[in-house]
Amino acid sequence: MAKDFRLKQVGPNFQTRVCEVASATVIEAGDLVAMESNLIVKADEANTAIAYCPNGSADGETSVEVTQGNDFTLLGTGDAAYSEDYRGDIVDVVMSTNDQRIDVGTGSTNVLQIEGAEDSGTVDSASNIEVRINKPIF
């Protein structure tokens, strides 16, 4: 299965930490995650702080590596085609048939920020939109 999000660039302060996940929870490599009841879960529209999971955690495992801070950029897929007007927008994560997407043009939990650079996305394409976590868990 393809990663929902993948690292594009990491900064000098890029860090991860190991966190507890419920044993029956599957976190795929490339998922955005949140914390509920002190356990890591796959992020969705309702979460107000998130992290990126570079490696995942299989059913039965009790820990997962997640990012700390936001000294990195990610590439993900939007729920609609990218427009230059989205540069710098603060947006949400949305679930689309088990895939996490960037909710372009919409912001209520404001957990992601679309990068403001000229190459932050391709106009009229939903693929490879560059984002940074706006509200990290840690």
pTM for the complete prediction?
Answer: 0.93
Q: Please tell me what DSSP assigns to residue 116.
A: -
Same domain, 57 and 84: no
**Domain shared by 27 and 58, yes or no:** yes
Do the Cβ atoms of 109 and 127 come closer than 8 Å? no
Residues 57 and 86 in one domain: no
pLDDT for 79 equals: 94
C-alpha–C-alpha distance, residues 117 and 111, integer Å: 19
Residue 1: per-residue pLDDT: 55
Answer yes or no: do 92 and 111 share one domain.
yes
Those residues of the chain that have pLDDT short of 50 are: none
User: Which of 48, 68, 88 corresponds to the end of one domain?
Assistant: 68
Say what the pLDDT of residue 107 is: 79
Residue 105 located in a structural domain? yes
- Residue 84: strand, helix, or coil: helix
The pLDDT, as a whole number, for residue 106 is: 73
pLDDT of the residue at 118: 83
Question: pLDDT at position 98, please?
Answer: 81
Q: What whole-number distance in Å separates Cα of residue 77 and Cα of residue 118? A: 17
Total of domains in the chain? 2
For residue 113, the enclosing domain spans: 73-133
Q: Could you tell me if 47 and 80 lie in one domain?
A: no
Q: How far is the C-alpha of 38 from the C-alpha of 68, rounded, in Å? A: 15
- Residue 115 inside a domain? The answer is yes
59 and 96 housed in the same domain:
no
